[in-house]
Amino acid sequence: MENNEKKNPLSDLMSATMAKIHEMADSNTVIGDTITTPDGVTLIPVSRLSFGFGSGGGDYGTDKFGGGSGAGVKIEPVAFLVVKDGVTRVLPVGLPAVTTVDRVIDMVPEIMDRVENYVEKKKEKEAF
């Protein structure tokens, strides 16, 4: 087998496309920079990221190459993490829950916080 050392333009095109996508879609895109309000509340934006790309090309003779590439990125806000006084809550940005199951799932964090507060208060009363 012969080792083909010649440069592959299609590979270079795909590498350049992926490099540009990497620039657009870094980790700060999914979990955004924190925002601190004057009253001490910290907001952390959370987004959903979708992307796709395609490349193609062909050799047309010894030194002729034709090709192209395209890419798309979709960034959709999903929620905010709200941190206040050491308590973290999820504030969804999407549409409100439609079905009963969706509503129950949305209420789970709040219910857990209430149960945790109840248990802590009960332990404090028993300690006295």
Phi, psi of 5 (to 5 degrees): -95, 0
Cα atoms in the Cβ-side hemisphere of radius 13 Å centred on 22: 6
Does any domain span residue 106? yes
Does any domain span residue 36? no
When divided into structural domains, the chain yields a total of 1
Q: What is the mean pLDDT of residues 51-68?
A: 77
Does any domain span residue 24? no
Q: CB–CB of 95/79 below 8 Å?
A: no
Does any domain span residue 122? yes
Residues 43 and 35: their CA atoms lie apart, in Å, by: 5
Give the domain extent around 124: 95-128
SS3 122: helix
For residue 9, the model assigns a pLDDT of 73
Does any domain span residue 102? yes
Tens digit of pLDDT for each residue in 99-122?
Answer: 777 777 777 778 888 888 888 888
Does any domain span residue 72? no
SS3 45: strand
Tens digit of pLDDT for each residue in 6-33?
Answer: 566 777 777 887 787 777 666 667 788 8
Does any domain span residue 101? yes
